[in-house]
Structure 1
Amino acid sequence: MVTRFGLPGTNFRAGAKAEPPAAADAETIASLSTRLDAAAQVRLGRSLAIRHVNTGSCNGCELELRALTNVVYELERFGLRFVDSPRHADVLLVTGPLTRTLRATLEQARLAAPDPKWIVAVGDCAVDGGVFKGSYAVLGGAGLAVPVDLTIGGCPPSPARILAGLRSLLEANAARKG
């Protein structure tokens, strides 16, 4: 077995070995799927478009957001998808502490998104500045620039936690509408 950079379990032919999801995760994901689908049907018809807005993060939360699109979580089977423009988005997912230089970007993304829209702060940094709180370049959490509908804490939050947060947002708004 030829290892690459001396890392065990990695070789040029087979690549790294992925761990299968835990049984509890599989049950949680199945439950989330059913509940997300029901809530999304009431609120949005068949799908939910998500635009990710990075306001200065370390990319830890971005890795977890991208994990939502892998074969374990497969975000699109729930009717959720990432879009490239805030003009097509129902949800703005904000990651990272609100920096001075990216405050205007977040405000512009919010103005570009059509109504009704939700803003979700993902990760401790987007909630209140996280470990970067107190830095001269950081203003704090996303709530200082735009009204936040949901906060999902964690450094970084797991993909299952992000899905659960989106589900709770959909269910809460479906109950208000119904």
Structure 2
Amino acid sequence: MESRSVGRAHVGGPFQMTTHEGKPFTDKDLLGKWSLIYFGFTNCPDICPEELDKMGAAVTELDKIFGPIVQPIFISVDPARDTLPQMTRYVSDFHPRLIGLAGDYATTKATCKAYRVYFSTPPGTKPGDDYLVDHSIFFYFMDPDGKFVDAFGKSSTEMDVVERVKREVEEWNAEKKARLV
């Protein structure tokens, strides 16, 4: 595994947020599972739903191959409007295991910084206003140790995601098996 860390982007790190079910969730909760993490907002008219649909479809395909080893995560970049009830309604549209995470502005900003995610809310907006949040449009693929593996952008297809995750999981399993011999 040491060779896998050479040249790897430093993405991810400690965070503490709240799930759409009101439970605490930290970076430690990702350990032991592969994860796909998307940063967006529930009032997004098109890009976030498209990316979450793609991510959910890829996870469904991966479940058929490996079982439920990939955890899909949605992290809100709109703490003013993305309440837990709003997050609960939103994540239910995409994948049954999708976990929605939210936090206050400082928590959101720190989590985005750790993951190198850009987001910007128009100045002077209030929670009841109709506005768009400008943000990075990709989702991260993280390994069971919480380390960054890859990022999938808008141009990545569902099959691109499935093939990349499949290859990484198979290599990981082969290396793990080789260490036991």
Q: Which has the higher contact order (CA 8 A, sep 6+)?
A: 2
- TM-score if structure 2 supplies the norm length? 0.34
More helix by share: 1
Return the index of the structure with the highest Cα Rg.
Answer: 1
TM-score (norm 1): 0.35
